[in-house]
Structure 1
Amino acid sequence: MTLTTTTTKNKVLFIMGTTGTGKTKLSLSLGSSFPSEIINSDKIQVYKGLDVVSNKVSETEQRRIPHHLLGIIDDPDMDFSISDFCSKVLSALDQITERGNLPIIVGGSNTYLEALVEDPANDFRSKYDCCFIWLDVSLPVLFDYLGKRVDVMIEEGFVDEIREAFVSDADYSRGLRRAIGVPEFDQFMRAKKEGQDEAHLEELLEDATARTKENTNKLAEVQLGKIHRLKNERGWELKRINATPVFEAIAKGDKYESVWEEIVFKPSLKIVMSSLG
């Protein structure tokens, strides 16, 4: 099996989708099926810290397959721009393809991906043959899952992470603190720091949690709109995988792994194998 085409273009696999659709899970599964390395394309996950808040892949999973652009920025206030992203990705691609491995670009920052692929300065299309897999989940089903995911994240230390990173004069328009959940919990953190009574803190916590869920849903809608635009206006040949039944099984409390295997992993594997030739 070769990772290049007859025109000597290197292959690049993109796994796209809105937040929470299983992109990381699929990237790890596909990455275990081929000599691969994963490039993160989530503009928040490039920063070090807030691993729970940003849903960063665990260190154990990172050890399974080499990862790039994950937790590489120490300064939470640094503005990691689109041009920074493109430069880092292009450098990583050179390294990965030189090793003969398949680059898998994974994440939901679709504006960054569009610049990477379409900006003439990057000369991307002339160098790389793209395979795009799009994990799609019905929004009502996804919204239910995302809400429950926020609750799980809070149980796993979401609020503690935000408290440790809290700065009273923080700029929420740039850097790591743009992450959904950080601005939403600002008022709660200020009240807690001031030692306000528990009843008021509980109200603020509930409000912050509700706004985090609402803004996560809004993010999914925006991301989906950008994906549709890339498909319909840019002409990206996205291979859509409907993962909705997986999330319906999760909502029912059913065992979902077999469903995921049949309707997500196997079709995706077939797409990649066909692309690689």
Structure 2
Amino acid sequence: MRMSMFMCKQTQPLLNMPSGGGLNLQVLRPPLQKERVVVVMGATGTGKSRLSINLATRFPAEIVNSDKIQVYEGLDVVTNKITEEEMCGVPHHLLGTINPNSDFTANDFRHVASVAVKSISARKKLPIIVGGSNSYIEALIDNENYECCFLWVDVSLPVLNSFVSKRVDRMVDVGMVDEVRNMLNLAADIDYSRGIRRAIGVPEFDRYFRLEPFIDDEERAKLLEEVISDIKNNTRKLARKQLEKIYRLRNIKGWKLHRLDATDVFRKRGKEADEAWDRLVAGPSSVIVSRFLYDVSPKVCGKVAAIRSAMAAAASH
């Protein structure tokens, strides 16, 4: 179902790690500073999960999922969750753990994710926050005093649109229709504004399942084609919306985002695509994270940064 470029290989750090059994993040941060975190951002389908695994097999790290649909239990195909095999043994937090009927808000995410970050840091590992839900990321960063390294995996929209359309076709091939059918209970009114039912690929099937028993094979195939087209269109709209939020975080809020252009990766296949990924995304990201961890100058984001800016402005008057 997913891109074949996922590979579980333990890579060596680009910089020498301190001796004594691994990277001790405590010695890398200045006194009284809170946790250092790496945030992997990008539109749907750009390879955020793959990059997070690349980094977590290079640095001692654990991953905190920040996708607002993948936090829910169930619908693994529809939500395109990373598989156990693709995790390469890296611990993941907030992935498929929330009751699918609940409404897990950005504020809920902030509370739970901040606890996960503290726990990961306390075990001297690097928290990597990864997902396409920028409202979740923003809620966490704005309310916590973290030192942040933002990695933005970007793919040109025409190339990405083609990829996500093919990904929807693969999802259908591996059982998306039956997965949604088994989850929905059409005997009752369904609220598609809460929980996992908000996922693209669920509400689009409502009309199909309600009409399915009453139409012939030809009509059913035509209706299914329409549903799949709607899912592709809505996924493309989601990608554009996610990009708009990323631009706002960079241009309006002033977040320093390290942009990694993966467009050329998606234009290639097989070994050439893997080599392009390493050259354009995984390799540069590892260098950026190495510098982030070993540079002891603070890069504070969130409330503290805003407070310092306000203090500086006040002092100038």
TM range (shorter): over 0.9
The answer to whether 1:44 aligns with 2:62 is no
User: TM-score normalised to the size of structure 2?
Assistant: 0.82
**1:138-159 CA distance string (max 9 Å, x none):** 0001001110110011111111
| Alpha-carbon distance, 1:60 to partner | 2.2
Matches within 5 A, 1:42-191: 42-62=67-87, 64-74=89-99, 76-118=100-142, 122=143, 124-125=144-145, 128-168=146-186, 169-191=189-211
The answer to whether 1:266 aligns with 2:286 is no
RMSD across aligned positions (CA): 1.3
CA contact (8 A) 2:77 2:179 kept: yes
The separation in 2 between residues aligned to 1:62 and 1:191, in whole angstroms, is 39
The answer to whether 1:275 aligns with 2:292 is yes
| Alpha-carbon distance, 1:10 to partner | 2.0
| Alpha-carbon distance, 1:9 to partner | 3.1
CA contact (8 A) 1:166 1:189 kept: no
| Alpha-carbon distance, 1:195 to partner | 4.3
CA contact (8 A) 1:134 1:238 kept: yes
Larger radius of gyration: 2
| Alpha-carbon distance, 1:271 to partner | 0.5
| Alpha-carbon distance, 1:249 to partner | 1.1
The answer to whether 1:13 aligns with 2:8 is no
The separation in 2 between residues aligned to 1:13 and 1:155, in whole angstroms, is 34
What is the SS of the residue equivalent to 1:86? helix
The answer to whether 1:26 aligns with 2:51 is yes
Which amino acid is the alignment partner of residue 161 of structure 2?
F
Gaps of 5+ in 2: 1-16, 18-23, 295-317
CA contact (8 A) 1:41 1:106 kept: yes
The separation in 1 between residues aligned to 2:154 and 2:88, in whole angstroms, is 27
* Percent of aligned pairs sharing the same letter: 51
The separation in 1 between residues aligned to 2:83 and 2:285, in whole angstroms, is 23
User: What is the match of residue 255 of structure 2?
Assistant: 236
CA contact (8 A) 2:35 2:117 kept: no
Which amino acid is the alignment partner of residue 266 of structure 1?
G
| Alpha-carbon distance, 1:189 to partner | 1.3
Which amino acid is the alignment partner of residue 193 of structure 2?
S
CA contact (8 A) 2:205 2:227 kept: yes
What is the SS of the residue equivalent to 1:51? coil
What is the SS of the residue equivalent to 1:131? strand
Which amino acid is the alignment partner of residue 46 of structure 1?
V
The answer to whether 1:196 aligns with 2:215 is yes
Gaps of 5+ in 1: none
The separation in 2 between residues aligned to 1:230 and 1:17, in whole angstroms, is 12
